[in-house]
């Protein structure tokens, strides 16, 4: 496995990986039009090309011989939503489901944190994603609050997890 900064040629792979992980993690009973429309609108190569160009944002990928296995996207200068504390946000962090538990996520997280200035880093994850929450807690994050993730008129509870900064 190789870690490297993402580039524009990764956009379609990032979109496909995101759709696979998102659908596999959050949809357990089937895929409704509501969620399919969201994924097909949000997880496109064009959107990823735009995200890769955003100032203050860095995306690192984990790459195996046959393609990407995971990625982490971090944006500097995003205050923690429930406290306003200055911080960087881990806006997206995905590892292919069949390759989770093999150290890819830990390697990506460690590499991303090493590139950030001292201070807090935060993220949100679905409140029902107990596997991810346990991973983050094991990596020194603490739960500080809750927020809502919106898709159209629907809302889904997310937890806010923070590492570093003031307790």
Number of domains in the chain: 1
92: β partners: 73
What pTM did the predictor assign? 0.88
The answer to whether residues 118 and 86 touch, using CB atoms and an 8 Å cutoff, is: no
Q: With a cut of 90, say whether residue 141 has pLDDT above it.
A: yes
pLDDT of residue 102: 84
| pLDDT band of 166, cuts 50, 70, 90 | low
Model confidence over 77-136: pLDDT tens digits?
888 888 888 889 999 999 988 878 889 999 999 999 998 877 789 999 989 889 999 999
- CATH number of the domain that residue 60 is part of: 3.40.630.30
At residue 90, what are phi and psi to the nearest 5 degrees?
-85, 100
Q: Report d(CA 149, CA 114) in Å as an integer.
A: 28
Q: Report d(CA 151, CA 34) in Å as an integer.
A: 8
């Amino acid at each position: 496995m190789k870690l490297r900064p993402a580039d524009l040629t990764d956009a379609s792979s990032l979109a496909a990986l995101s759709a696979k992980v998102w659908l596999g993690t959050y949809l357990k009973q089937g895929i409704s039009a509501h969620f399919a429309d969201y994924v097909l609108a949000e997880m496109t190569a064009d959107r990823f090309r735009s995200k890769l160009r955003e100032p203050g944002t860095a995306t690192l990928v984990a790459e195996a011989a046959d393609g990407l296995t995971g990625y982490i996207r971090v944006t500097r200068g995003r205050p923690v939503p429930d406290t306003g504390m200055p911080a960087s946000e881990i806006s997206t962090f995905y590892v292919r489901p069949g390759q989770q538990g093999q150290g890819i996520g830990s390697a990506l997280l460690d590499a991303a944190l090493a590139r950030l200035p001292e201070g807090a880093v935060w993220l949100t994850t679905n409140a029902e994603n107990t596997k991810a929450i346990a991973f983050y807690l094991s990596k020194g994050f603490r739960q500080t609050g809750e927020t809502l993730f919106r898709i159209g008129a629907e809302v889904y509870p997310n937890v806010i997890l923070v590492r570093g900064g003031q307790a």
